[in-house]
Every structure is written in structure tokens, then in C-alpha cells.
Structure 1
Amino acid sequence: MRIATVPLDDRFVRLEPFEDGLKAEVQAALDCDSEAWAVMVAPAYGPHFEAWWTAALAAMTAGTRIAYAVRRLSDGAVVGTTSLYEINPAYRRCEIGSTFYRPEARGGPINPACKRLLLGHAFEAGAVRVEIITDAVNAQSQAAILKLGAKAEGVLRKHKITWTGRVRDTAVFAVTDDDWLEVRDGLDRRLAAFS
């Protein structure tokens, strides 16, 4: 499995791999809703942005992450970020995460469009498993992940410690290559409704 670091797009979004020219737009997108970062493992807004950006670029150089700016095509605005990360070619698996959207970009076609592109890119590269994890207290995120078609696999107790010091349980979801065609078709039907 080799997942290429390339832009991905459909009629709703263009996912652009991080590079220096995107930094200001990404920072502006992440600085809009500081309260939303309370349940995140690591913050990326305000004074935290520089360290987060540097870590994302370092992971990209190491080949363990592809971080993307999410550009909404209807107006050209960068409305958030998402990543393929924990990329493990030996096990042909990765995760989708580090996802954050501006409030006005939530609840419409942006998230399903991004997930459709990321899942397709991973499976076309030979992945057999793509995980999506979230904080076990984040019911809204869990509902969105299930709506994508990922299967719930359980909760990892005391799995991570958030930047606020809270010990976090993590809800684990996954899409396998066996699931992909059904998940893909469901996402395509869902996105067609936004036409």
C-alpha cells in the first residue's frame, strides 16, 4: 500500500495537501471556534496552531500522515482540515481524522464529500482497513461516523489524554475493504441528494 500525497476533489470540495502557501488559510479556518477544541486530543487554534502545523508537516515528511486543507468549491474558501494518518503500509491500514470544519461547513455535503474522497483514495491505494476514531463523549461525532457507513467496533478505555489533561475513552469505527463498495454507494447516494 502506497497512498500518494496528491490533491483530491469532487464537485463540493478540493482536498489540498498541506504546504506553506496554505498555512494562513488553514489557520484562519481553525481559529473560528475555540470552544470546539475542548474535546480534541490536540488543539490547533490560536497560540497552539504553530506547533500543530509543524507536527503535521513532520508527519507528512515521515510518511505517516497526509494532512489536507479542505477547500469548499462553491466559494473557494478553506473551511477546515482533515487527514489520512497513522498510515501503516505493512498492515495496509490508516485512519481518517484530525478533522475540523468551520461551523457553517458542518451538517452539509462537506464531511461526506471529504470522507468519500479519503476512503476512496485509501482503498484504491490498497488499504484493507480505514479507522475513524473519536472521543467516547462526543455523541454527535459518533452519529456522523455511523451515518457514513463505518461500523462501530467498541471503546478503548483510557486510550488518550487530551491537551486539557482529561483521560479519554476512544470510540473506534472502521471501514474495511469488504465494506467499501456498500459504504461508497451509500455516500454517493447521500451526496447526490445535495445536487
Structure 2
Amino acid sequence: MSAAFYGSNGVTTGLATTLIDGDLRLEQFADAHVEGLRAACAEDQDIWPIYPFSMIGEHFDPSLARLRSFPNWQLFAVLDGGRVAGMTGYIYIDEPSHALEIGATYIAPRVRGSGFNRRMKTLMIDHAIEVGFKRIEFRVDTRNERSMAAVMKLGARHEGTLRQNRKTWTGYVRDTAIYSLLAHEWTASSTAG
């Protein structure tokens, strides 16, 4: 992987960039995004029980601090026309294996169902492949049918389900569906039309 290398924080520096598609902008998460994210997360109080962590009320600050503490994660603020609409990231980056996961994703209801998520994921997948990653993973709580359907629409393949593998913040022990997308599959599907 010639275009990417590890920076001082352990993140592959080729991943740490700003990604733009019209009014959609992914910026490296910074302190300036915190209050906008807090507001965006509060827009959907009902979704958080199917996340492994909560980003509402008193849970917001400790959860965000924990997410920001992982040294091999590249978190992004997701902006819609300059307004924070959520977060996402390259997580569990395994540079020697040319693999990473796209996760820690939340987008506000106001942008769901508009193609916004697909545009966001397309930016991220294109960029990861451009800097040399060959395998992109997605891990989804099996209760989150909307997210599983969105990942499948990207062309990712369901590789299996880890049964009762992760305890969520509510105490529920979830099943996790694992999907993958290989660079050559994405290239083939994106050039096919």
C-alpha cells in the first residue's frame, strides 16, 4: 500500500482526509463537531437500543470519548450542507492485511431514505480502495434490518452471523451479521453501470 502509512496516532494517514460529494461532507471528527453531533443523535431517541452504545442524554459524552480513544480508528463527522447529520468511521483498520471496517455509523432521520447513506458509503469505499485497502467489512446488529438492507444494496456479501457475540449498553446480547466487500467486486459493480 504505497499511498498510505501510519501516522503518530496509529491511523493510516491516507484515510485521514476530507471526503466531499456536493452537500455531503465527511470531515475528520473534531471538537467543533461535538454539539452538532449531540443534536443529531437526539433526533432519533428510539434507535439507540439497537446500537452497542448510546449517544443520547448522559451516555453521549462517555460514549463519544470512548469512540475517540481508539487509536486505530478514523472517525468522521457527517455533514449535510454544513450541518452535522451524524458520524461514521473507518474502524478496526488492519493495514498489513489491507482490511478495515466501516462502522460507528449514525445518520439523523432527516437524511435517511434520500440516498445520503449510499453517497456517504460510496465516498468511503472509493477512498479506502484508492489508498490500497482490498477488504471492507460491515458488522450489523441483526435487529437492524434497515442497515443490513443498505449494506446489501452496496453489493456487500453476507459472510455469516456471529451468534450472541456482543453485549450492548442495554444489556442485550446481540447477534452480529458480517458483510464484506472486496475491492475488485466494488470496481466491477461501480463500472457496470
TM-score, length of structure 2 as denominator length: 0.88
**Pairs within 5 Å for 1:1-195:** 1=1, 2=4, 3-59=14-70, 62=71, 64-73=72-81, 76-185=82-191
1:99-151 superposed Cα distances (whole Å, 9 cap, x missing partner) = 11111110112101110011111111111100011011222211111111111
Give the C-alpha shift of residue 82 in structure 1. 0.9
Q: State the alpha-carbon separation in 1 of the partners of residues 101 and 35 from structure 2.
A: 26
Amino acid at match of 2:42: D
- Secondary structure at the counterpart of residue 152 of structure 1: strand
Give the C-alpha shift of residue 185 in structure 1. 4.1
Q: State the alpha-carbon separation in 2 of the partners of residues 173 and 180 from structure 1.
A: 13
Q: Is the 8 A contact 2:165 2:176 kept in 1?
A: yes
Q: State the Cα RMSD in Å.
A: 1.5
1:69-99 superposed Cα distances (whole Å, 9 cap, x missing partner) = 11113xx221111111011112111101111
Q: Is the 8 A contact 1:65 1:83 kept in 2?
A: yes
1:144-168 superposed Cα distances (whole Å, 9 cap, x missing partner) = 1111111111111122111111111
Q: Is the 8 A contact 1:79 1:105 kept in 2?
A: yes
Instruction: Name structure 1 gaps, 5 residues minimum.
Output: 190-195
How many correspondences in the alignment? 182
Q: State the alpha-carbon separation in 2 of the partners of residues 184 and 72 from structure 1.
A: 24
Amino acid at match of 1:67: L
- Detail structure 1 runs of 4+ shifted over 4 Å in the superposition: none
Q: State the alpha-carbon separation in 1 of the partners of residues 149 and 23 from structure 2.
A: 22
- Secondary structure at the counterpart of residue 34 of structure 1: coil
Amino acid at match of 1:94: L
Q: Is the 8 A contact 1:79 1:102 kept in 2?
A: yes
- Secondary structure at the counterpart of residue 170 of structure 2: coil
